[in-house]
């Protein structure tokens, strides 16, 4: 089994050319709207452990959302929506498309080699959203109509629950696995040749556990899918 690991919201960096647009939004950049706390560290741990193909972005989603399709209305944030057409096209051509193309190449290489693979996209989520307390520590997002994704998610849920019984693990929570995003994009592009799961980690865990402790409890293994 080959693993492809990605992390689309690994940081909150803003390229120098756009810094002046964000000088009044430092708190927003440092919030969950700006990045996924802890996600990149866990993704790096997985990539090293599994000797996986690995791609990540440390550019803030407030500049351009790399886990959305080009047609999504929130591809650009409340700040970057104000940019002119040339600026938006530059962001798409310089940041978005190269990321998609590199991840696509990893997937296509695995397909060409006829090697079973799974793409795991690592994210984290805020414990409270709009006053609602999220009732899980871990979410596994997938397409329930995809037999391979369903099988992988079920086995992974059992393994995580065994490693850490106190963590609540929910399927397709706090988002649906079929929502607009890169995994859904690749499902459509590659059909049954592609298998992808989004891992969602509650931010509060990073306040109580080290990255290695979290990653060790969550890590997928070769035995998991055999």
127-142 pLDDT per residue, tens: 998 888 999 999 999 9
The pLDDT tens digits for 53-81 are 999 999 999 999 999 999 999 999 999 99
For 98-124, what is each residue's pLDDT tens digit? 999 999 999 999 999 998 999 999 999
What is the pTM (predicted TM-score) of this model?
0.96
pLDDT digits (tens, 9 = 90+) for 154-188: 999 999 999 999 999 999 999 999 999 999 999 99
Position 225 scores a pLDDT of 45
The average pLDDT across 75-94 equals 97
How many Å apart are CA 38 and CA 163, to the nearest integer?
19
What pLDDT sits at residue 221? 66
Q: Which pLDDT score is estimated for 165?
A: 96
Helix (H, G, I), strand (E, B) or coil at 121: strand
Q: Does the structure show a pLDDT above 50 at 226?
A: no
pLDDT at site 131 = 86
Structure tokens at 107: 């997937």
SS3 162: helix
Q: Which residues contact 119 (CB under 8 A, 6 or more apart)?
A: 4, 5, 6, 103, 106, 107, 183, 186, 194, 195, 196, 197
């Amino acid at each position: 089994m080959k693993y492809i690991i990605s992390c689309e919201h690994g940081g909150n960096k803003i390229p120098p050319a756009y810094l002046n647009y964000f000088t009044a939004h430092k708190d927003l950049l440092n919030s969950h709207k700006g990045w996924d706390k802890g996600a990149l560290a866990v993704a790096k741990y997985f990539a090293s452990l599994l000797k996986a193909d690995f791609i990540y972005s440390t550019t803030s989603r407030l500049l351009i959302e790399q886990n959305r399709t080009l047609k999504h209305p929130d591809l650009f944030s409340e700040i970057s929506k104000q940019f002119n057409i040339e600026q938006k096209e530059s962001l798409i051509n310089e940041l978005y498309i190269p990321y998609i193309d590199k991840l696509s190449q990893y997937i296509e290489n695995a397909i060409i080699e006829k090697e079973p693979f799974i793409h795991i996209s690592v994210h984290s989520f805020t414990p409270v959203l709009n006053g609602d307390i999220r009732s899980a520590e871990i979410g596994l997002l997938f397409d329930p109509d995809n037999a391979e994704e369903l099988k992988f998610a079920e086995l992974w849920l059992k393994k995580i629950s065994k490693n850490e019984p106190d963590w609540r693990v929910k399927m397709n929570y706090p988002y649906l696995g079929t929502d607009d995003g890169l995994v859904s994009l690749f499902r459509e592009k590659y059909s049954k040749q592609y298998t992808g799961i989004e891992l969602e980690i509650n931010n509060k865990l990073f306040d109580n556990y080290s990255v290695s402790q979290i990653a060790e409890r969550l890590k997928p293994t070769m035995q998991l899918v055999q």
